[in-house]
Amino acid sequence: MSSDPFHPLFWGPPLQSRMPLTVYVPVSDAFISALQRDAPNEADSTQLRQQFPETVAALEQAAQTLLETCDGTDGFCPKLNGVMPSDAGWILAENRACCRSWAEAVLLLRASVRVGEAARALSSEPPVLALQRWERIHPAYEFRSFISSGRVIAVCQRHPHTAYPFLAQERDQIVGAIAHFYLEAVQPLHPSLAECIMDCYLDEEKDVHLLDVEAWSDDALLLFRPDEMAELRDQVRIAVGSVWHQPEDDDDSVRSLRDDPMGTIWFRSVDEGFAPVPPLWLEALPLELQDEHLRPMVETRTSLHAPNSSIAL
Q: What is the mean pLDDT of the chain?
A: 80
- Give the residue from 240, 231, 236, 190 showing the smallest Cα distance to 213: 190
The pLDDT score that the predictor gives to residue 179 is 95
Q: Is the pLDDT higher at 272 or at 158? A: 158
Q: How far apart are CA 49 and CA 30, in angstroms?
A: 13
How sure is the predictor about 166, in pLDDT bands with cuts at 50, 70 and 90? very high
From 48-52, 86-90, 258-262, 308-312, the region with the lowest mean pLDDT: 308-312
How sure is the predictor about 41, in pLDDT bands with cuts at 50, 70 and 90? low
Helix (H) or strand (E) holding 153: strand 151-157
Decide: helix, strand or coil at residue 208: strand
The amino acid sitting at 82 is G
Average the pLDDT over 140-165 and give the result. 93
How sure is the predictor about 303, in pLDDT bands with cuts at 50, 70 and 90? low
Q: Is the pLDDT higher at 142 or at 281? A: 142
Average the pLDDT over 13-27 and give the result. 93
Q: Chain-centre distance of CA 292, in angstroms? A: 21
Average the pLDDT over 188-206 and give the result. 95
Helix (H) or strand (E) holding 103: helix 102-111
Tell me: pLDDT of 248 over 70.
no
Tell me: pLDDT of 221 over 80.
yes
Q: How far apart are CA 97 and CA 113, in angstroms?
A: 13
The pLDDT score that the predictor gives to residue 49 is 85
Helices 102-111, 53-67: inter-axial angle, 10-degree rounding? 110
Tell me: pLDDT of 188 over 70.
yes
Q: How far apart are CA 29 and CA 33, in angstroms?
A: 6
**Residue 26: which residues within 8 A CB-CB, separation 6 or more?**
9, 126, 127, 128
Tell me: pLDDT of 59 over 60.
yes
Note the maximum CA span of the chain. 62
Q: 266 near 155, Cβ under 8 Å?
A: yes
DSSP state of 222: T
Per residue in 63-88, pLDDT (tens digit) is 998 988 876 558 999 999 889 998 99
Q: 263 near 150, Cβ under 8 Å?
A: no
Backbone angles phi, psi at 277, to 5 degrees: -75, 125
Range picked from 6-20, 37-51, 228-242 for highest mean pLDDT: 6-20
Q: Is the pLDDT higher at 261 or at 190? A: 190
Q: 85 near 54, Cβ under 8 Å?
A: no
Range picked from 99-113, 212-226, 251-265, 278-292 for highest mean pLDDT: 212-226
From 14-28, 96-110, 263-277, the region with the lowest mean pLDDT: 263-277
**Residue 58: which residues within 8 A CB-CB, separation 6 or more?**
25
Tell me: pLDDT of 311 over 50.
no
The amino acid sitting at 111 is A
Tell me: pLDDT of 136 over 60.
yes
Strand order in the sheet with 22-26: 22-26, 128-133, 76-80
Tell me: pLDDT of 284 over 90.
no
The amino acid sitting at 154 is A
How sure is the predictor about 280, in pLDDT bands with cuts at 50, 70 and 90? very low
Q: How far apart are CA 243 and CA 231, in angstroms?
A: 17
Q: How many CA atoms within 13 Å lie on the side-chain side of 141?
A: 18
Decide: helix, strand or coil at residue 14: helix
